[in-house]
Chains A and B, each alone.
Chain A
């Protein structure tokens, strides 16, 4: 099957007065049609910057310094803003984290929905309106025709996220990037939104990149998972690999820090000690080494290479490296 998107050795840095911040440091992945890729990591791990780099929405101080982003067989890393605006919204749809701030408060929902449809699908205003109403109904907004004339503040958080999903889906993109789509929402609303995304993924066979810090959210939806830490990929594999056979100490740490609601005897949580590293002055070797309970001498000085556990499952850790050489 052909790849929807391929990212090779992406490096993105921010140039701040205090120095260069290597937010994304050599990230590569491929995404097939209909595949759901979960990117998991803590705040500051570079997961959002990875996808913002794909869309080239980095702002003034951020710059892609290396790597390829291949969309439809074309490397888009050097393309200008004009070209990117034909991709944003039409080929790649984006769902942002905070539904409170990602809609423009001074325009009606209808206007905001209509705009990308008219631009990308080249429809007239009336046709675009029709399409927008159809999309709103599809994402479960009752009374869509009337709601087109409402302002964002008249919607609740969950409803706004539905509007944004409708907007992202309106131009039939091949890829949807969802950056923490449910973090700002209540659990019951989170369940509704995840259900909606699952339904769309099935109906339209859209590829999704789902970014989250909550392992519970990706368990249900993702096919493959990338675990990021401090701008690098620590481990990647299928959902089953990551949840049932995690190899990297950081992945294990993440899985151990959430309580299992089904446990009968209360177990003490096993947190990851310490704090995420300062990216202005990152650790020399493996970025996780200062917090890693198994850190060895080599971890502190040299970045580990990527090791294949199986065809799909890769991890970057000296510990596994050592085991593999022995075995």
Chain B
């Protein structure tokens, strides 16, 4: 039995927005609603869903960039959901994040070396000399030579910037990294480079990943398990091969059939399941099963009772009334 790295229990993150002339009324956006996750040491969990489904908010809440509204985040046996920002700081040494936009996540006024060194400064690790060595080592790990360290972010391409983001995350030698759409801003040929780098690092440094993305084919490639999110809920989780071969939830089925296939014969043969309409507003989500407004199998019960995540064997869990 492998050690559990992270367990998320009934995690909620609500954002409130004041509306009305005097700001008297409050609107609640349930960005993350009752999410349960479990990641074992050395595993990669992929989190997929359309924009606005709460996958990024889940990642950010786990990293405690946001304070959770309710629920537990058990990281290496310790509940970190209610720790203060001061208490959370040492834990961030074990948990780091790689952000989506390599253009916005690097300070344009710092050199690459300074950017990578910042986490070491913040956590007060090593002496000054050792830090220099460490930065060189990190630059090497992600495929730069030490000369690159003197450059500024604007001198690098998107893929190179994302490598800087990875090096920065690795600086404090974390065990767990949250990758929030690390490749979606990059070109196809560069995406594969970054994915390979992430996979190599995982193997050599024994890392655990939470990999957030909307690109199902890449997620399937890199993850051991996948969770599918829709409007703040997890609707299906399974091992990645199992989920791909045997999707049970109607939403997962549509997501899978929407993947563009790089194979003209198969793409022409394939019958696509088309979704009607778009994701409803999370301010006023549908009652019952949140997917029922777009689901072709929906019956009366779906609009009344929210289905719970049920195990249907093989570690495959689905939240649907008709499984």
A residues near B (Cβ < 8 Å) are: 42-43, 156, 158-159, 186-192, 194-195, 213-217, 219-220, 239-240, 243, 253-262, 264, 266, 268-273, 275-276
Contacts and interface: CB of A to CB of B under 8 A. Distances in A.
Contacts of A273: 193
B221 A42 contact: no
B254 interface: yes
Interface stretch (B2-10, B89-97, B128-136, B267-275): B267-275
Contacts of A276: 157, 187
Interface of B: 50-51, 157, 159-160, 187-193, 195-196, 199, 214-218, 220-221, 241, 244, 254-268, 272, 274-275, 278-279
20 contacts: A187-B216, A188-B50, A188-B255, A189-B278, A191-B258, A195-B272, A214-B260, A215-B188, A215-B260, A215-B262, A216-B260, A220-B260, A256-B192, A257-B191, A257-B192, A258-B217, A259-B218, A261-B221, A261-B244, A269-B221
Given A262-B266, A271-B193, A271-B195, 4 more contacts: A187-B214, A191-B272, A220-B261, A260-B263
Contacts of B221: 259, 261, 266, 269
B275 A260 contact: no
Contacts of A187: 50, 214-216, 255, 258-260
Given A159-B278, A186-B51, A268-B196, A243 B263 contact: yes
B267 A219 contact: yes
Nearest to B157: A275
A209 B263 CA distance: 19
A271 B190 contact: yes
Contacts of A272: 189, 192-193
B254 A257 contact: no
Nearest to A272: B189
A42 B191 CA distance: 11
A264 B241 contact: yes
Nearest to B294: A188
A285 B88 CA distance: 55
A217 B188 CA distance: 13
Given A158-B278, A191-B272, A192-B274, A261 B220 contact: yes
A104 to B, nearest CB: 22
Nearest to A190: B258
Nearest to A256: B192
A216 B187 contact: no
Given A216-B261, A219-B261, A42 B275 contact: no
Closest 8 CB pairs of A and B: A216-B260, A271-B192, A257-B192, A259-B221, A191-B258, A272-B189, A269-B192, A271-B193
A40 to B, nearest CB: 9
Contact of A220 (B160, B256, B264, B279): B264
B188 A239 contact: no
A188 B254 contact: yes
A269 B274 contact: no
Contacts of A219: 260-264, 267
B259 A216 contact: yes
Contact of A239 (B196, B220, B258, B264): B264
Contacts of B193: 271-273
Contacts of A266: 221
A258 B188 contact: yes
Nearest to A271: B192
A243 B262 contact: yes
Given A156-B278, A275-B157, A243 B189 contact: no
Nearest to B240: A266
B254 to A, nearest CB: 6
Contacts of B214: 186-187
